[in-house]
């Protein structure tokens, strides 16, 4: 398995070996960042793009009442902050949840690699646009799905996304989130997030032990959640080869 950035972007465009080498060159010297650390602050004018190579981070916004909403999870191979090239200021913050290995790539280096390879440029845009598609799906879930279905849907999504970067096998993946963070991500109170997860456990759809989620029957969980993976755009590369 290649590094997470290469693995992920390979799903966004048909990269050649030179492209992979360019991406690996960006991936030297990642920083080790502890959990619960802000990588970028809301209102910042970022000079860097962040790439998570290991661990879990998140996009967050604070409400006027001082509560925190988690707008999206940033998994290994995910790129954050590309949009700040255009939208000068961060309209949300990026924080680590667990300890992470993170690249801080200077804006100029991103510009160079995008100029050098239109395929990498496409893959990077693909990556941000998929993030947006995921965010839209979270919005659908927030409006239409019950707490337990929403939790199930999140687990299905994480499994699919982590699988692509080799961080999940057929049935399990690590999920280093507290119930509070899970609640912030799903728009639920901590207590109700707990109960929703427990309901999934009770129904035998999910086993949660020691920070690891196991899904004994993926099809059953997907059915319960109404999970349809199209929104993850995981097949974009194939489409490009065909079309």
Binding site for a second copy (CB under 8 A): 43, 45, 59, 61, 63-65, 67, 69, 71, 83, 86-89, 91-92, 122, 125-126, 129-130, 132-133, 135-140, 142-145, 184, 186-188, 226-228, 230-231, 233, 236, 239-240, 243
Residue length, the chain?
A: 243
Q: Which is nearer to a second copy, 96 or 149 (CB)?
A: 149
Distances (CA, A) of 175 to 15, 179, 183: 30, 11, 14
Does 57 interact with DNA (rule: CB under 7 A)?
no
User: What is the spatial distance between Cα 88 and Cα 21, in angstroms, rounded to a whole number?
Assistant: 29
- The answer to whether residues 228 and 181 touch, using CB atoms and an 8 Å cutoff, is no
Kindly report the CA angle at 45 between 40 and 48, in degrees rounded to 5?
60
Q: Which is nearer to DNA, 164 or 188 (CB)?
A: 188
7-26 binders of DNA (CB under 7 A): none
Size of the site for DNA (CB under 7 A): 18
| Among the residue ranges 3-11, 130-138, 152-160, 174-182, the one whose residues contact DNA (CB under 7 A) | 174-182
Does 180 interact with DNA (rule: CB under 7 A)?
yes
Q: Which is nearer to a second copy, 53 or 123 (CB)?
A: 123
User: What is the spatial distance between Cα 201 and Cα 147, in angstroms, rounded to a whole number?
Assistant: 14
Q: Which is nearer to a second copy, 29 or 65 (CB)?
A: 65
Min CB(138)–DNA separation in Å: 14
| Main-chain phi, psi angles of 209, to 5 degrees | -150, 125
- The answer to whether residues 148 and 220 touch, using CB atoms and an 8 Å cutoff, is no
Q: Which of 194, 207, 220, 233 binds DNA (CB under 7 A)?
A: 194
Give the distance, in angstroms, between the CA of residue 220 and the centroid of all CA atoms in the same chain. Answer: 23
Does 37 interact with DNA (rule: CB under 7 A)?
no
Could you give the string, one character per residue 134-163, with x where binding to DNA holds by CB under 7 A and - elsewhere? ------------xxx---------------
Q: Which of 178, 212, 214, 217 binds DNA (CB under 7 A)?
A: 178
Which ranges of 145-228 does DSSP label H, i.e. alpha helix?
A: 147-164, 179-186, 190-202, 218-225
User: What is the spatial distance between Cα 162 and Cα 210, in angstroms, rounded to a whole number?
Assistant: 18
Smallest CA-to-CA distance from 74 within 110, 37, 43 is with 37
Give the distance, in angstroms, between the CA of residue 208 and the centroid of all CA atoms in the same chain. Answer: 20
Q: Which of 68, 83, 163, 192 binds DNA (CB under 7 A)?
A: 192
Binding site for DNA (CB under 7 A): 146-148, 178-180, 187-192, 194-198, 210
């Amino acid at each position: 398995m290649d590094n997470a950035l290469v693995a992920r972007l390979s799903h966004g465009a048909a990269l050649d070996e030179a492209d992979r080498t360019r991406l690996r060159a960006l991936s030297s010297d990642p920083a080790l960042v502890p959990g619960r650390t802000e990588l970028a602050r809301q209102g910042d004018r970022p000079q860097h793009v962040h790439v998570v190579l290991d661990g879990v981070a998140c996009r967050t916004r604070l409400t006027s009442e001082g509560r925190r909403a988690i707008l999206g999870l940033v998994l290994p191979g995910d790129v954050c902050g590309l949009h700040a090239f255009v939208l000068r200021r961060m309209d949300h913050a990026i924080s680590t949840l667990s300890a992470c290995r993170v690249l801080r790539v200077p804006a100029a280096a991103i510009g160079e690699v995008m100029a050098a390879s239109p395929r990498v440029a496409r893959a990077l845009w693909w990556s941000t646009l998929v993030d947006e598609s995921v965010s839209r799906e979270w919005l659908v879930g927030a409006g239409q799905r019950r707490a337990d279905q929403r939790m199930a849907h999140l687990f299905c999504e994480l499994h699919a996304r982590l699988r692509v970067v080799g961080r999940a096998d057929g049935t399990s993946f690590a999920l280093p989130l507290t119930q509070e963070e899970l609640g912030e991500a799903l728009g639920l109170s901590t207590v109700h997030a707990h109960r929703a997860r427990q309901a999934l456990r009770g129904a035998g759809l999910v086993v949660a032990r020691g920070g690891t989620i196991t899904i004994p029957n993926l099809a059953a969980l997907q059915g319960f959640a109404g999970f349809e993976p199209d929104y993850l755009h995981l097949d974009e590369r194939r489409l490009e080869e065909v079309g």
